[in-house]
Amino acid sequence: MQQVDPNRVRADLLDIELDLVTTFLRIARASPVAETRRRNYTHAREAYQMAGRYRSLIKVSARVDRAIELKFRDAEVELAAARSLHDH
């Protein structure tokens, strides 16, 4: 039986959470319904926060860490740009 690397699982979860940020924001932008836009923006923000919690639990190579950092920055920029979806 193959050993599961808990660190790899955490890194995969972090990646999935950051993908969810983008997914929820796409749904929010596409919706003509204000409540749907607000709800999905909130889900995106929560996914970003959860990814931040995973971030402190993983230990990865410098290359992987750089890729994660870039994905975090992209998600942060997307959230900032979509802030009006939550405010209106």
DSSP 18-76: HHHHHHHHHHHHH-S-HHHHHHHHHHHHHHHHHHHHHHTT----HHHHHHHHHHHHHHH
pLDDT of residue 83: 85
What pLDDT does residue 51 have? 93
Lowest mean pLDDT segment, chosen from 2-6, 13-17, 65-69? 2-6
Q: How confident is the model over 23-70, as pLDDT tens digits?
A: 999 999 999 999 999 999 999 999 999 999 889 888 888 988 898 999
Helix pair 6-30, 34-55: axis angle to 10 deg: 160
Residue type at 69 in one-letter notation: E
State the CB neighbour count (10 A cutoff) for residue 42.
Answer: 14
